[in-house]
């Protein structure tokens, strides 16, 4: 049986209304610019089948939006400081600021090593559950490059069951071949066991506003491959793009 969860990058009332289509026990990863904002959104959600809410901190665009060693140092410190001493489940979306503020590659170059250390220390010391959403590399050597850039942390999942790796495998954005997907799911499951999660999509546009929707057939096949690989949780990007036909498909796999 797989857990079928959702990302919601824009938790507006309209997007959250799609929870009426989610009839199975699920989790919701909510983007917010502060812990206070996240708590306020959670307080408005009354659906009892959403068992867990995960705080997904996002920065201002000028700060880098996503979490990386190239994000503004003061922004990273602000996010990590507000989480100090807490146990709220949190997801770090580890992506480069290329499309949001490429000037950060220059302005934060001298802070790169210190920022990378800051992120690692937060992951290592945080008391609550941590989810690390990472790019999906095409092969082992690219994964090592992500590790160098501070976008992949392979050691923590083995050391701590509270740290989980989410690989973003969005077929609507990348033409992954099926054999490659099978191999990478098998490798991820072997390396990280139950701490290996997969994100599928996309449904609904993201921050770029240009992301295409995954086809129904491709999503069904992706879910089938995850099930065959023994993946315990699949996260769909994103809740706001959910439609009845897709919800029926997700419900089917959430029961198997």
Q: What is the mean pLDDT of residues 3-32?
A: 97
Q: How many CB atoms lie within 10 A of CB 95?
A: 21
pLDDT band at 9 (very low <50, low <70, confident <90, very high): very high
d(CA 49, CA 246): 18
d(CA 136, CA 162): 21
Determine contact, residues 185/222, Cβ cutoff 8 Å: no
pLDDT number for residue 159: 45
pLDDT number for residue 160: 57
Q: Which of 30, 105, 34 is nearest to 64 (CA)?
A: 105
Q: Which helix (H) or strand (E) holds 228?
A: helix 216-228
pLDDT number for residue 157: 47
pLDDT tens digits, one per residue of 26-74 = 999 999 999 999 999 999 998 889 999 999 999 999 999 999 999 999 9
Q: How many CB atoms lie within 10 A of CB 74?
A: 9
Phi, psi of 139 (to 5 degrees): 115, 165
d(CA 71, CA 112): 9
Q: Which of 187, 102, 180, 120 is nearest to 156 (CA)?
A: 120
d(CA 11, CA 17): 10
Is residue 256 over pLDDT 70? no
pLDDT tens digits, one per residue of 115-166 = 999 999 999 999 999 999 999 877 778 888 999 999 998 765 444 567 999 9
pLDDT tens digits, one per residue of 72-108 = 999 999 999 999 999 999 999 999 999 999 999 999 9
Q: What is the DSSP string of 129-163?
A: -EEEEE---SSHHHHHHHHHTTS---SHHHH-TTE
pLDDT tens digits, one per residue of 169-227 = 999 998 999 998 999 999 899 988 899 999 999 999 999 888 999 999 999 999 999 99
**Does the pTM exceed 0.85?**
yes
d(CA 26, CA 178): 27
Identify the sign of the CA torsion 5, 165, 1, 213.
positive
51 in helix, strand or coil? strand
d(CA 101, CA 129): 29
């Amino acid at each position: 049986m797989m857990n079928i969860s959702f990302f919601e990058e824009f938790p507006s009332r309209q997007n959250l209304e799609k929870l009426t289509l989610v009839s199975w026990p699920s989790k919701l990863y909510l983007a917010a610019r502060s812990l206070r904002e996240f708590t306020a959104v959670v307080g408005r959600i009354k659906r009892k089948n959403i068992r867990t809410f995960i705080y997904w901190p996002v920065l201002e665009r000028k700060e880098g939006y996503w979490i990386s060693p190239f994000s503004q140092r003061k922004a990273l410190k602000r996010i990590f400081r507000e989480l100090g001493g807490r146990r709220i489940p949190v997801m770090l979306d580890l992506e480069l600021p290329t499309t949001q503020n490429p000037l950060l590659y220059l302005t934060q170059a001298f802070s790169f090593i210190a920022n990378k250390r800051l992120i690692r220390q937060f992951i290592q010391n945080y008391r609550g559950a941590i989810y690390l959403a990472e790019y999906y590399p095409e092969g082992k050597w690219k994964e090592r490059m992500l590790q160098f850039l501070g976008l992949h942390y392979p050691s923590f999942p083995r050391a701590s069951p509270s740290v989980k790796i989410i690989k973003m495998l969005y077929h609507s954005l990348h033409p992954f071949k099926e054999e490659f997907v099978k191999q990478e799911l098998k490798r991820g499951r072997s390396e990280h066991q139950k701490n290996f999660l997969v994100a599928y999509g996309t449904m609904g546009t993201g921050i770029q506003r240009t992301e295409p929707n995954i086809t129904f057939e491709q999503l069904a096949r992706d879910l089938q491959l995850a099930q065959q690989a023994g993946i315990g949780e699949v996260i769909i990007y994103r809740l706001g793009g959910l439609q009845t036909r897709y919800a029926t498909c997700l419900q089917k796999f959430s029961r198997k």
